Amino acid sequence: MDALRIDLKEAAKENDSYRKVLFTGAFSQLVVMSLAEGEEIGLEKHDVDQFIYVVDGEGTGMLEGSEEELEKGDAICVPAGTWHNVVNGGDEPMKLITVYSPPEHAAGLVEKEKGDRDAVNDLTTRAARSASLLPGDGSARKA
């Protein structure tokens, strides 16, 4: 597994893709996201824990039906199985850093726009995780 050292805030600010996986390890995954004006992640829940940090922008974070305003520097910790959403309420892109534990997406995934990801790669990652093949498979990447 390759280690990664990166100026993470700068990587998030420069990212124009909806979702970009920067690092995938055996037990965690580092992702940067960019939500366009008015765009949202969409109400979802995962079988993994997720941490979301707002690098730039403002909007609303929703956890299990509770809404809170979000701005630069705010973070949300989302336990596995929790319904959540993030909505960009500003007039500039909202830049996010998120960590999944364990990994949620295919290593190296780049989703230029919401819904653009390669579903086959995503399903392969989930299948590998459920079969306990992910740890030690060499899937870590450098950004």
pLDDT band at 51 (very low <50, low <70, confident <90, very high): very high
Specify the DSSP element, H or E, that contains 114.
none
Say if residue 109's pLDDT is above 50: yes
Structural domain of residue 65, as residue ranges? 8-130
Instruction: With respect to residue 143, please indicate whether it lies within any of the assigned structural domains.
Output: no
Say if residue 117's pLDDT is above 60: no
Q: What is the mean pLDDT of residues 99-111?
A: 95
The count of structural domains within the chain is 1
- What is the pLDDT, as a whole number, of residue 121? 53
Instruction: With respect to residue 136, please indicate whether it lies within any of the assigned structural domains.
Output: no
Say if residue 42's pLDDT is above 90: yes
- What is the pLDDT, as a whole number, of residue 37? 96
For residue 113, the domain's CATH number is 2.60.120.10
Specify the DSSP element, H or E, that contains 14.
helix 8-14
Instruction: With respect to residue 65, please indicate whether it lies within any of the assigned structural domains.
Output: yes
Q: How far apart are CA 54 and CA 118, in angstroms?
A: 26
